[in-house]
Amino acid sequence: MINIILYFVLSVALGITKAIVDTLSFRKGTNIFPSSWQIDNSWRNKWKNGDPKQGEKFWGSSRWFVPFTDAFHFTGMINHIIIFLMIGVFHFIQVESIWSILFLYLVGGYVLSRTVFHVFYTYIFIKNNVD
């Protein structure tokens, strides 16, 4: 039972992290995230004083450790980790038939994560334009 709950919690987290990645990519200037998270600014976090000519901020910051320099890459990394965790959790779920797997978990998990994505991307992560 705990595996089923964990699977659907991970489905929700998958939708949220995907919404963050897409919001930072496609809703520049209209999202709720701080300017240090914005793609136009955050790439500078890889470099000393934000200047590529001065070299990496720390060893590997422009290569292996990019996910630890900006929100876009960090949430993308978390998104991929969640997918692998879901596969692992799914492996341990005991089901009665193949149709249970297809309907409840694959379709249910997919629909849940896409619904959460839509709500966060469309409504929650954008600035309110109320003046």
**What pLDDT is recorded for position 130?**
46
pLDDT band for position 85 (cuts 50, 70, 90) = very high
Query: Domain locations in the chain?
Result: 2-124
**Mean of the per-residue pLDDT values of the chain:** 89
Other CB atoms within a 10 A radius of the CB of residue 42 amount to 20
Please name which of 21, 4, 7 lies closest in space to residue 82, comparing C-alpha atoms: 7
**What pLDDT is recorded for position 91?**
75
Please tell me the distance from the alpha carbon of residue 50 to that of residue 48, in angstroms, as a whole number.
Answer: 5
**What pLDDT is recorded for position 131?**
42
**What pLDDT is recorded for position 13?**
97
pTM equals 0.86
Please name which of 75, 78, 69, 66 lies closest in space to residue 25, comparing C-alpha atoms: 75
pLDDT at residue 89 greater than cutoff 70: yes
Q: What is the CA radius of gyration of the chain?
A: 18
Q: What is the average pLDDT across 65-80?
A: 94
